[in-house]
Chain A
Amino acid sequence: MDRPSAQPAISTDVDAAPPLLIEGVRFRYQSDQPDAVRDVSLRVEHRSIVGVLGPNGGGKSTLVRLALGDLEPMSGVVRVAGMPPSTARRKGLIGYVSQERPPVAGVPMSVRDFLSYSLGAHLTGFRRLQSDARDRLAWAMDVTGASAFDHRPIGALSGGQLQRVVLARAIAMEPCLLLLDEPTVGVDMQGQAAFAELLETVRQRTGCGLLLVSHDLRAMVAGCDQIACLNQTLHAHVAPDGLTPSVLAEVFAHEGEGAVGAVHVEAHLAADCTHEHDAPSSRDAAGRVPKDGRDGA
């Protein structure tokens, strides 16, 4: 929980600054193209979970890459724990789970080795992983369920198992900002409920700020403190309960009558009136726990 640091001054700064601060950011890929994102301001506090929702092409991936420091904004500021994202990343302050699974098919390495190599990536020569890092790793593997198959070769895992491994790796870093890009793609409802609980545990234990980016509403509603709707610009910045069909219609308007938009709105309505739908109980429970925690905090 406490990040071991030789320089307490920096550690204090990290704790004081918000995990993610985006202010008035604009970005376009080529000068003759329209803005990919514009006027985006977003703030992720410690111990909060913020979801960014938007249609395909709405700028979600651009936002992620800006937050990671892969892209530099044309105007505006991006700060992770008070520093430029690329610096924060090098210090291991950003835990990032990509939308794409690592290309590990056929890689001859056990899950445990993969994770300890990952956590010790900066080590050289004779230096070995320190015991606190090993403890964090063990905890992360337990909480994600990756410890159940820690001796299996990483190249032989299913997509869902690999997802847990990658998540375990990001959590074990005990980052300041945990950035999850489409974390529940291909995960069923029960899996999503469990996932929401997992995020809650991580938030409690590490105190990090979480940013979830998704086009899938079901993934967002459970457990998010705030939801930002992104379609080139931020359309609304609301708590999940305020996410009304009219807000959604605005965000997804560019998709017209497209099937994707329709499905999204439906999915959201289903989540809103939990008592009338098929698998509401687990989702409900997952949604309630964080809210209580938030009120108390």
Chain B
Amino acid sequence: MSLNTLDYLFGPSGWLYWPGVVAAMAVALTAGLLSPLVVHRKLSFVGQGVSHAGFAGLGLVLLVTWLSGGAMHGPGLTAVVLLVTSLAAGALMARLSQHTTRGSRQAGGGDTAIGVVMVAGMAIGFVLTRLAAEPVTRLTGQRPPDLESVLFGSVVAVSWLDAWVTVVVCTLVATVTWWYRRRIVLWAVDEEGARALGVRTSHVQLLVMLLLSVVVVLAVRVAGVVLAAAVLVLPGAAAVRLSHRYAAVVITSVALSAIAVIVGGVSAFELDLPPGPMIVLAGVLVWMLACIQPRLVKQQVAS
């Protein structure tokens, strides 16, 4: 069987795909690193909320371009607005989930509010996109990214600048995570215990939310708004079923994440399907395999 993928990547128009491949891999490795935390703290909803708020951010970018009469546009503006909206959403949800964990179990707090942020972000994004798309096209002469690429990601749309920014930021996120790994992990598995040990858990929580927001913003580019949260959930969810040691879980999670990107990316090229959803489907497949096989591997680990 000959792989079209290699022909694509090393063929005459291969340069078109490489930035996307590099960015996707960087995001996947970083997401794999944070994924066990997301799984332990049941933060997958936060990933959803942040990415959907990012969608509102994209709508906001169009609005700004429109209102400024076309003077303000381009990837710089997009990146800044996206980061700001996502960080705001991340911080907001950190506060909300803090209220839940502190035991105020009133109806309307915690996950309810995250659900509201999510649908509100989605709706605002749609409305703004619909309103501003035509005027922005007229003003800048460029069509704004179509909805499908926003929702499901577009590897081809990634430029080399995007790719290198992604790599640098991902390295930064990974370094910060490693630097504070002990308190982050302790916060994730036993928040009250961490507080008793003198850890400022609210700071840790804010830090983790910011790291997650950054990764989600980067992942939106590759996997889209709808799927960005998946790269934060699937590798960790699979990895925790495969090992009893935290370090091993993190390494497994990173490896599985990379495997999902390779398998999903290659099959997307081969079958001529969108890579974002295919990567997520590959992640789902990996997770399902991990669910089916846990006992075998656990026995090996235990012995």
| Chain A interface residues toward B at CB < 8 A | 68, 89-92, 94-96, 98, 100, 102-104, 106-110, 113-114, 117-125, 153-154, 166, 169-170, 173
Contact = CB atoms under 8 A, between A and B. Distances in A.
B10 interface: no
A109 B189 contact: yes
B179 A118 contact: no
A62 B281 CA distance: 50
Given A98-B192, A102-B192, A124-B179, A108 B197 contact: no
Given A108-B243, A122-B199, A153-B244, A117 B182 contact: yes
Contacts of A118: 186, 190, 193-194, 197
Contacts of B185: 109, 117
Nearest to A87: B198
B164 interface: no
B187 to A, nearest CB: 9
Contacts of A119: 197
Interface in B187-217: 189-190, 192-200
Nearest to A101: B190
Contacts of A106: 240
A119 B240 CA distance: 23
B154 to A, nearest CB: 35
Given A166-B193, A173-B197, A121 B186 contact: yes
B182 A121 contact: yes
Given A103-B190, A118-B186, A125-B179, A95 B245 contact: no
Contacts of A154: 189
B192 to A, nearest CB: 6
A88 to B, nearest CB: 9
Contact of A122 (B183, B196, B243, B244): B183
A173 B194 CA distance: 12
A113 B193 contact: no
29 contacts: A90-B198, A92-B197, A95-B196, A98-B192, A102-B190, A103-B190, A107-B40, A107-B189, A108-B243, A108-B244, A108-B245, A109-B244, A113-B246, A118-B193, A120-B182, A121-B182, A121-B183, A121-B194, A121-B197, A121-B199, A122-B182, A122-B197, A122-B198, A123-B182, A124-B182, A125-B178, A153-B244, A166-B193, A173-B197
A278 B193 CA distance: 37
Contacts of A100: 192
A109 B196 contact: no
Interface size bracket, B side: 20 to 34
Contacts of A96: 196
A124 B244 contact: no
Given A108-B244, A108-B245, A94 B186 contact: no
Contacts of B248: 108
Nearest to A94: B196
B198 A170 contact: no
Given A89-B195, A98-B192, A108-B240, 17 more contacts: A90-B198, A102-B192, A109-B185, A109-B189, A109-B245, A113-B245, A118-B190, A118-B197, A120-B182, A121-B194, A121-B197, A121-B198, A121-B199, A122-B182, A124-B180, A153-B244, A166-B193
Contacts of B195: 89
Given A110-B245, A117-B182, A121-B183, A102 B197 contact: no
Contacts of B194: 118, 121
A46 to B, nearest CB: 20
B203 to A, nearest CB: 11
A293 B282 CA distance: 66
A119 B194 CA distance: 10
B242 to A, nearest CB: 9
A92 B240 contact: no
B244 A110 contact: yes
Report the 6 A-B pairs with minimum CB-CB distance, sorted nearest first. A102-B190, A96-B196, A153-B244, A90-B198, A109-B246, A107-B189
A90 B200 contact: yes
A117 B181 CA distance: 9
B24 interface: no
Given A117-B185, A125-B179, A89 B190 contact: no
A89 B246 contact: no
A119 B198 CA distance: 10
B249 interface: yes
Contacts of B200: 90
A102 B197 CA distance: 13
Contacts of B190: 102-104, 114, 118
B254 to A, nearest CB: 15
A125 B178 CA distance: 7
Nearest to A107: B189
A89 B180 contact: no
B97 to A, nearest CB: 14
Contacts of B196: 68, 89, 94-96, 98, 170
